[in-house]
Structure 1
Amino acid sequence: MTPAVAAGLQIALVVAVLAAVYVPLGDYMAKVYTTDTDLRSNDLRIESWIYRACRIDSRAEQTWYGYGASVLGFSLASVMLLYGLQRIQGVLPLNNGLEGVSPAVAFNTAISFVTNTNWQSYVPETTMSPLTQSAGLAVQNFVSAAVGMGVAVTLIRGLVRVGRGGEVGNFWVDLTRGTLRILLPLSFFIAMILLSQGVIQSYRSGFVATGLDGHAMTTALAPVASQEAIKELGTNGGGVLAANSAHPFENPTPVSNIVEVIAILLIPVALTRTFGTMIGHRRQGLTVLAVMATLYTAVLAVTLAAESRTHGVAADAAGSMLEGKEVRFGIPGSVLFAVSTTGTSTGAVNSAHDSMSPLGGGAVLLNMLFNEIAPGGVGTGLYGILVIAMVAVFVGGLLVGRTPEFLGKKLRTREITLAALSILVMPALVLVGTAVAVILPATAGALGNSGDPGTPSAIHGFTEVLYAYASAANNNGSAFGGLTVTNDWFQASLGMCMLFGRFLPIVFVLALAGSLASSHRVPAGAGTLPTSGIAFAGLLTGTAVLVAALTFFPAVALGPIAEALH
């Protein structure tokens, strides 16, 4: 079977499953965030007990100020608790003989998991205890994803509500419902499938076996299946084992690989249906989905073509670019996973992106630089593309002299300013962080590829740094490889990129939601630009591509483009 045929069959299967669950899951999530009924199981009022224990009034609404303060306060508390758990894990149960995590690694990891990035500058097997993995990292995988979904729903409410004084919902209710009603049941279902494929679930530290060379070796064990499911479903990406989804204990078969790809795409894709249902205009959701699919397909086609070609003696002998890829997945399964994970802020990997061809590696890098809206992370992808849609409406209105309106809400200076600020946060963090890192003498030794400026190794080293800051600022978490990020500069700078890359856009989006919620609806007229259909989909796609191209072309030209042309 040729790579093209294998890729076609896998893509067809993924599309078929997503199409089958698109309507029921999307409508179910819309109901979760709009119903007034608390979750209950038989006579157990689960959510009511949580609200009562935490002294939460589930019927009270918050302005964007209150919602934002709750997000930031909850996230700050989560960072502090996760940091503390890592530092004292050596004296806690289930530590498997592991000591407390060092301050720099604990700081970086706490921020990483709370921001839904899951960037890992450590070896999980020898750093994190089973208790830290389960009670700390896995919990953040759930709640950080629920935070992103809540912010997306808040922006939808802002577009739907009329003159509500800026009230956009209740963060604590959104957090609870997103976790209990959506993420937990879906994660349990996916974990059961992964267990059937051989993914492990163990609290033992490992076992000793005799290798083929006759020497004894220790193989690490961990509670993998439970975290693997939410790691993909919540677009988190942090692996329990160092090799991440390339490890046979995390992703043992081609079937598990497809299941994980579907889990990565499931909620971001279905949220477009949720958007259409909540605003009462499902064609709007299909338009957004079409733009996401167009960008995703373009990157997938370029990456698959680049990786199916051969470059060099080893690749010619193998018949394809198999370096850094698991043979059980091959080129199609590796490319499908790489494009899905970089397009959704997941960051999980089943192959070494550093081993990809210059064009293939550049394509997955560009996938993140699109602001990860194809289809984006859980919640973040939807509110990211809606913000770009507002900018597209504004630009389109300027071009043809039409009134900038989006879904019946007039876009004034305040709304466009907030949208622009939200978009500009990520490029500023990526470009400034990369520029500073490549000129610091202290970071030169971290590069796995060194050489005189202009040589392929030096160009590749620049790409590794650019990829690292793009991954951190986009809350992706995947690593290009070859770059050692354990020194204090990278621990601190990447940590701050993750922090600002997550919460500054959230604050701007919440402010945008509050501004829209307090404004009145204006009737559509002859001067209103339609925001559904092929024409607007083209405008939105062009705006997303243009923003990324104008912002990052010089940097990409110095990295993957220069390497491909060398």
Structure 2
Amino acid sequence: MSTQFLGLLALYLAILFAMAPFLGRYMRRAMEDGAYKLTAWGSPLERVLYKLAGVRADSEMGWKQYTVAVLAFNLLGVVVVYALQRLQGYLPLNPQGFGAVTPDSAFNTAISFVSNTNWQGYAGESTMSYLTQMLALTVQNFVSAATGIAVVFALIRGFARQSSATIGNFWVDMTRSTLYVLVPISTVIALALVSQGVIQNFDSYKEVSLVTPVEYSQPKVDAAGQPVLDAQGKPVTEDLKTDKQTLAMGPVASQEAIKMLGTNGGGFFNANSAHPYENPTALANMIQMLAIFLIPAALCFTFGEMVKDRRQGVAVLASMTVIFVAMACVASMSELQANAALAGLPVDHAVSALQAGGNMEGKETRFGMAASALFATITTAASCGAVNAMHDSFTAIGGLVPLLLMQLGEVVFGGVGSGLYGMLVYAVLAVFIAGLMIGRTPEYLGKKIEAYEMKMAAVAILVTPLLVLVGTSIAVMTEAGRAGVFNPGTHGFSEILYALSSAANNNGSAFAGLSANTPFYNTLLAAVMWFGRFWIIIPVLALAGSLAAKKRLPVTGGTMPTHGALFVVLLVGSVLLVGALTYVPALALGPVAEQLQGAVTAIAK
């Protein structure tokens, strides 16, 4: 492990933990205190929005009414995003004259952005108009993140309240999280990114001449943008030559800011945060990494504030940090080593003043291995999915880290709101396990954990493994699923497993060696993304409603503390044992087998 990586990791965590407590306290006041001075500027606008929407801000909802509001709002979002893509050829702000997005791709993208996944089977700069990028995708970046924040506040109220039939008002939570948290912070981040060179314009694309003509091959596609296959069902390639390059323009910085802050991840360009117009400098890269974890980390402090015990939030944050640091170190060590398959070749992989060393395949030279490994760990620990390097080019173990982080349920910081409510579900599981071990009725924050709470927690935890493993099986067993795999063997299996893990856990990143923009994968992944988002939100809200209705039990000598090191160990163990062991057989067929094959190849050479 390099000192450069350790220094970068320490700097990153130091800045993050310096900002998170202040934002955490601000969010608690902004969301809960209608008389908060720092949000007084938005109160008139807030009242106007409620009046226009016919919302009574002083009327709270039970968990069932809250759930219906969440589902109805997001279903409407799917319809709007789908319609904007299909009609973009007739709408303004389309200087390149892009036509309608294909039905299956539009359906996949609509569910992807509404579910906060932002999986992209298309190239943004050659598919989406400026209007679609802004009105469909960027708007959903805000409201899908706001949905996650609303749900976690509902769950926290379940722990904080007692003998209550309500858990808040979804429309108020959505409005305040967008107006007072996401919009102001995104504006600051967008301006910071513009200062680093991220573009923000409505210009037509620019065509420039190359110094040297380029010859290349690429998969051939038909008029609908689908890969052309030969008689054996294999993709057909075509040889091309060009002396021109088209530089895409657009309102990038505004989308980039909320893409990171809302842990969305959908890039304006196909290369995402590896593109110099999205992520031009080392400072821009650091800003983007901080933006990904900022709200998830701050929400831990918000949680402590709302349950009136800051130590509870610190314990949850410590559990997340322990797993994150361990995973980041493994990813860094793996990428700093040479690819095992190349070990027998006369190639020097050592770090020196003249070369980066290690596995630089698929990485931007302006970031190098340390920042690339850290970015990959951050973006898959959170449900972000933005990438500044090709995960498909990571070593077998380096690729296993982001894959496993997603499979844990993305509770290691996780998405905006979704990471904390996922970790709190594991906390319920952890105290239940502890209660069984010591023969006491499990309690968490003074709330007795009974059969109903455990059923809801079990559903929330087991939904994503079911979707991932069943979806992967379907893709592997069908001809349409195997047709998208360009890499045979273990790595091809890892690509499919990664895609389904990314979709079910609402991440959106990809190994990118899988040709997934087909009717089969667009439909399969859309279904997995939808259920991976809302089959968890429904039991979480049911859990919130049940907890809010309970009385708070007094602390006694038999109450297990949930704010110390012992609880941190128990929580980390629950996440790793339940979250990780579920996927061991699948991982053994993918990255683990690939690592062993590489080692055997190196020995043979």
Which consecutive aligned stretches of 4+ in structure 1 deviate over 4 angstroms post-superposition? 38-44
Name the residue aligned to 1:536.
567
In structure 1, what is the Cα distance between the partners aligned to 2:580 and 2:207? 51
Q: Residue type of the partner of 1:93?
A: P
Name the residue aligned to 2:48.
49
Question: Is 1:19 equivalent to 2:8 in the alignment?
Answer: no
Q: Deviations over 1:106-160 (max 9, x none)?
A: 0000000000000000111111000000111000000000000110011000001
Q: Deviations over 1:531-550 (max 9, x none)?
A: 11000100000010001232
In structure 2, what is the Cα distance between the partners aligned to 1:536 and 1:277? 19
Q: What SS class does the counterpart of residue 27 from structure 2 fall into? A: helix
Shift of 1:72: 0.2
Q: What SS class does the counterpart of residue 169 from structure 1 fall into? A: coil
Relative distance call for 1:40 and 1:349 in structure 2 (3 A) is closer
Question: Is 1:287 equivalent to 2:352 in the alignment?
Answer: no
Shift of 1:40: 6.5
In structure 2, what is the Cα distance between the partners aligned to 1:472 and 1:193? 30
Q: Residue type of the partner of 2:123?
A: V
% identical equivalent positions = 50
Q: Is the 8 A contact 2:335 2:369 kept in 1?
A: yes
In structure 2, what is the Cα distance between the partners aligned to 1:82 and 1:111? 8
Q: Is the 8 A contact 1:98 1:128 kept in 2?
A: yes
Q: Is the 8 A contact 1:200 1:224 kept in 2?
A: yes
Q: Is the 8 A contact 1:109 1:118 kept in 2?
A: yes
Q: Deviations over 1:505-542 (max 9, x none)?
A: 00000000000111111112233221110001000000
Name the residue aligned to 2:111.
111
In structure 2, what is the Cα distance between the partners aligned to 1:545 and 1:41? 43
Name the residue aligned to 2:516.
485
Shift of 1:316: 2.8
Name the residue aligned to 1:263.
291
Name the residue aligned to 2:557.
526
Question: Is 1:304 equivalent to 2:332 in the alignment?
Answer: yes
Q: Is the 8 A contact 1:315 1:322 kept in 2?
A: no
Name the residue aligned to 1:405.
443
Q: Residue type of the partner of 2:503?
A: A
Relative distance call for 1:209 and 1:315 in structure 2 (3 A) is farther
Q: What SS class does the counterpart of residue 208 from structure 1 fall into? A: strand
Deviates more, 1:399-408 or 1:336-345: 399-408
Q: Residue type of the partner of 2:194?
A: L
Q: Is the 8 A contact 2:125 2:269 kept in 1?
A: yes
In structure 2, what is the Cα distance between the partners aligned to 1:549 and 1:93? 48
Q: What SS class does the counterpart of residue 211 from structure 1 fall into? A: strand
Shift of 1:225: 0.2
Q: What SS class does the counterpart of residue 422 from structure 2 fall into? A: helix
Q: Normalising by structure 2, report the TM-score.
A: 0.90
- The aligned runs of 1:166-181 (5 Å cut-off) are 167-181=166-180
Name the residue aligned to 1:553.
584
Shift of 1:436: 1.0
Q: Deviations over 1:80-108 (max 9, x none)?
A: 01100110000000122111111101000
Shift of 1:209: 1.1
Which among 358, 364, 375 is matched to residue 396 of structure 2? 358
Name the residue aligned to 2:485.
447
In structure 1, what is the Cα distance between the partners aligned to 2:375 and 2:43? 40
Q: Residue type of the partner of 2:9?
A: I
In structure 1, what is the Cα distance between the partners aligned to 2:483 and 2:60? 52
Relative distance call for 1:513 and 1:194 in structure 2 (3 A) is same
In structure 2, what is the Cα distance between the partners aligned to 1:359 and 1:303? 7
Deviates more, 1:21-30 or 1:40-49: 40-49
Q: Residue type of the partner of 1:33?
A: M
In structure 2, what is the Cα distance between the partners aligned to 1:233 and 1:467? 23
Q: Is the 8 A contact 1:14 1:262 kept in 2?
A: yes
Q: What SS class does the counterpart of residue 265 from structure 2 fall into? A: coil
Name the residue aligned to 1:93.
92
In structure 1, what is the Cα distance between the partners aligned to 2:409 and 2:258? 22
Name the residue aligned to 1:132.
132
Aligned-residue Cα RMSD (Å) equals 1.4
Name the residue aligned to 1:249.
277
Q: What SS class does the counterpart of residue 511 from structure 2 fall into? A: coil
In structure 2, what is the Cα distance between the partners aligned to 1:512 and 1:44? 31
Question: Is 1:379 equivalent to 2:417 in the alignment?
Answer: yes
Segments of structure 2 that go 5 or more residues without pairing to the other structure are 214-242, 598-605
In structure 2, what is the Cα distance between the partners aligned to 1:332 and 1:205? 36
Name the residue aligned to 2:224.
none
Q: What SS class does the counterpart of residue 583 from structure 2 fall into? A: helix
Deviates more, 1:515-524 or 1:133-142: 515-524
Q: Is the 8 A contact 1:162 1:520 kept in 2?
A: yes
Q: Is the 8 A contact 1:315 1:323 kept in 2?
A: no
Shift of 1:24: 1.0
Relative distance call for 1:306 and 1:43 in structure 2 (3 A) is closer
Q: Is the 8 A contact 1:471 1:478 kept in 2?
A: yes
In structure 2, what is the Cα distance between the partners aligned to 1:242 and 1:42? 38
Name the residue aligned to 1:186.
185
Q: Is the 8 A contact 2:259 2:265 kept in 1?
A: yes
Deviates more, 1:252-261 or 1:8-17: 8-17
Q: Residue type of the partner of 1:86?
A: Q
Q: Is the 8 A contact 1:403 1:527 kept in 2?
A: no
Q: Deviations over 1:205-252 (max 9, x none)?
A: 310111121623211112110000000000000000000000000000
Deviates more, 1:520-529 or 1:360-369: 520-529
Q: Is the 8 A contact 1:315 1:321 kept in 2?
A: no
Q: Is the 8 A contact 1:393 1:404 kept in 2?
A: yes
Q: Residue type of the partner of 1:173?
A: V
Q: Deviations over 1:348-397 (max 9, x none)?
A: 00000000000100111111111111111100000000000000000011
Q: What SS class does the counterpart of residue 256 from structure 1 fall into? A: helix
Name the residue aligned to 2:216.
none
In structure 2, what is the Cα distance between the partners aligned to 1:528 and 1:9? 40
Name the residue aligned to 2:160.
160
Question: Is 1:274 equivalent to 2:305 in the alignment?
Answer: no
Q: Deviations over 1:466-525 (max 9, x none)?
A: 000000000000001110012211111100000000001000000000001111111122
Name the residue aligned to 2:375.
337
Q: Normalising by structure 1, report the TM-score.
A: 0.96
In structure 2, what is the Cα distance between the partners aligned to 1:127 and 1:148? 28
Q: What SS class does the counterpart of residue 587 from structure 2 fall into? A: helix
- Alignment coverage as a number of residue pairs: 556
In structure 1, what is the Cα distance between the partners aligned to 2:92 and 2:147? 29
In structure 2, what is the Cα distance between the partners aligned to 1:42 and 1:106? 38
Q: What SS class does the counterpart of residue 218 from structure 1 fall into? A: strand
Shift of 1:44: 7.1
Q: What SS class does the counterpart of residue 212 from structure 1 fall into? A: strand
Which among 349, 355, 363 is matched to residue 316 of structure 1? 349
Q: Residue type of the partner of 1:385?
A: M
In structure 2, what is the Cα distance between the partners aligned to 1:153 and 1:373? 16
Q: What SS class does the counterpart of residue 389 from structure 2 fall into? A: coil
